[in-house]
Amino acid sequence: MVALAATTALVLSACGGGGGGSAGGGTGDVSGGAPPAEGNDINPVDYAQVRDGGDFFWAISSLPPQYNYHQLDGTERDNKNIIDSFMPEIMKGDAQSQYQIDPNYLESAEVTSEDPQVITYKLNPEAAWNSGRPIDWTDFEAQWKALNGSNAAYTVSSTTGYDVIQSVAQGATPQEVVVTFSSKFADWKGNFLPLYPRETMSDPAVFNDGWRNGPLDGAGPFKLEQIDNTAKRVTVVKNEKWWGEPAKLDRIVYVALDSSAQPEAYANGTLSVLEIGPSVSTFQRAQQVPDTVIRTAKGPNFRHITFNGAPTSILADPALRLAIMKGIDRNILTQSQIGPIVPDAKPLGNHLFVEGQAGYEDHSGVVAFDPEKAKSELDALGWTLQGDVRAKDGQQLAIRDVIPTGTPVSEAEAKIVQQQLAAIGVQVNIESVPLDNFFEQFVYVGNFDITHFSWLGTPSPISSASGIYRLTPDSVDQNYGRIGNDKINELLVQANAELDPVRQAEIINEIDQEVWNLGHSLLQYQRPDAWAVKPNVANFGAKGFADYDYTKIGFTA
């Protein structure tokens, strides 16, 4: 998964799975109700009908701190949007949340044995890194060894899917990769996404720090042209070494802008597209821009409030977290944030499935809004009112809500939460911190009591989310609030090993119930995938569960 911190861009990607594909259909009318459960709205245009050339200006929240997506600091969604233009995504999810091979990289990927589980990949013989070296089985082997958790020198975002691989070997040729699992792993298609060269994965120093100032290699339709730290821009250009259909665009320019500045930048033509996301003000401003189409779809992304349950946190007691959650009205948060965009939106009820995915069940009743019950539970826990704020053993029940600056969605959410929790005697101190290091210096290291951002999911809901809900003593993964237990850990192993999708869904829902019972995080709503674009923008917009095909993004006139 990827994390999304605020209005339009700041997102974290849940790791362990990849992204999505490029199929199409759907409605472009965000005022007409909820987005479609399946499909997307990207103005699909045949490759031959897309104009050759042009520059595409795409807003990001800040310059990436790390271009290695598998390193802990590299999982922001902005990073992923840049990385996907020049790194191999050997599988791409489609609009129905299913992975499909990318023929530019793979001729096939098949289960060639069920016991033990063996996957055989046959690489496109033309696939090569920009360095000139062919992509081969050794890249897979190096990535497995770096991400399987066996070497603590690698600061990885997730080990899921790699920790159950027994071996990676050459098949009949160096372009045939034989991956043997030590136990069953259902979401194997989400492994090796994106694929990095062995030169990166074989050295922990290069893995952790070599890609901080820019990519060291690539193998995609684009390549890096420039990182301008002064203008805060990352520019990628058409890659002359790309063996597939050439990209239609000459270049993509990723422009770092505060979310509050992005609507006007789009209105004056500085940006080619504008992500609306859950921002009502951005939605309303986009509607005023002439010759603009609003595209929308339902995707795997959701807003939530992460709670810090680390032993040193004031919220270490799960009973306290659950009592506080009962004082927050998720319906008000949802309607205030996205009601004008999705009028019938309702709070999300599942941490692993979103609406539109088979298996979705709502288990949020354990934190149903009930301020009177919240008060009585806080009393029973010894947190009694002393004036306007509860206290226990001389400590006030005052919690830090850490949010990034310049993000109206987070600011609005924090103020609503502050007001609602004040009504049950909980003081919320809103702490705005710099957007550029919100994740690195606060979220990743647990420097918060509660915090708001979005998770960007994948077609592999269990493997991509495992690192968020697994709790291990020696690795944080993406469980930044340090909340979990052995039961969840065991169920995650079972779900990842279950090949029957019906039984797997049952286990996933068991996990979700336990996650709710622990007060891990308070879900808000499934995040609208909404974009403002000009009518001539092709193969780009609300991608839903899919990935973009970067070769096809462009203009029709």
Angle formed by the axes of helices 461-469 and 501-518, to 10°? 20
Q: Indicate the SS3 state at residue 207.
A: helix
pLDDT number for residue 475: 65
The span from the CA of 37 to the CA of 340, in Å, is 19
Q: Are strands 389-392 and 91-93 parallel, antiparallel or unpaired?
A: unpaired
| Per-residue tens of pLDDT for the chain, all 557 residues | 444 433 333 445 555 433 322 222 222 222 222 333 357 899 999 999 999 999 999 999 889 999 999 998 998 888 999 999 999 999 998 888 789 999 999 999 999 999 999 999 999 999 999 999 999 999 999 999 999 999 999 999 888 899 999 999 999 999 999 999 999 998 899 999 999 999 999 999 999 999 999 999 999 999 999 999 999 999 999 999 999 999 999 999 999 998 889 999 999 999 999 999 888 899 999 999 999 999 988 878 899 999 999 999 999 999 999 999 999 999 999 998 888 888 888 999 999 988 878 889 999 999 999 999 999 999 999 999 999 999 999 999 999 999 999 888 899 999 999 999 999 999 999 999 998 889 889 998 999 999 999 887 766 777 778 889 999 877 667 899 999 999 999 999 999 888 888 999 999 999 999 999 999 999 999 988 899 999 999 999 999 888 999 999 999 98
Q: How distant is the alpha carbon of residue 100 from its chain centre? A: 19
Looking at residue 13, its pLDDT comes to 54
Residue 527: both structure tokens together: 């995040």
CATH placement of domain 301-526: 3.10.105.10
| Residue 267 CB coordination number (10 Å) | 17
Three-class DSSP category at 417: helix
Per-position b or e across 120-146, b if 16+ CB within 10 A of its CB? bbbbbeebbbbeeeebbbbbbbbbbbb
* CA distance to 1, 161, 479, per residue, from 488 (Å): 18, 17, 12
Backbone angles phi, psi at 456, to 5 degrees: -105, 115
Q: Per-residue pLDDT tens for 467-507?
A: 899 998 776 678 999 999 999 999 999 998 888 889 999 99
pLDDT for res 501? 87
Output the CA–CA distances (angstroms, integers) from residue 169 to 123, 201, 291, 532, in the order listed: 14, 16, 54, 46
- pLDDT score for 19: 30
Closest CA to 189 of 108, 304, 272: 108
C-alpha closest to that of 157 among 232, 220, 65, 246 = 65
pLDDT digits (tens, 9 = 90+) for 23-71: 222 222 222 223 333 578 999 999 999 999 999 999 998 899 999 999 9
At 40 the pLDDT is: 86
Domains in the chain: boundaries: 301-526
pLDDT on residue 6: 34
Residue 37 corresponds to which tokens in the numbers above?
């459960």
**b/e burial code for range 459-481 (CB count within 10 A of at least 16 → b):** bbbbbbbbbbbbbeeebbbbbbb
Radius of gyration of the CA atoms of the chain, in A: 23
Token look-up 């032993």 returns 311
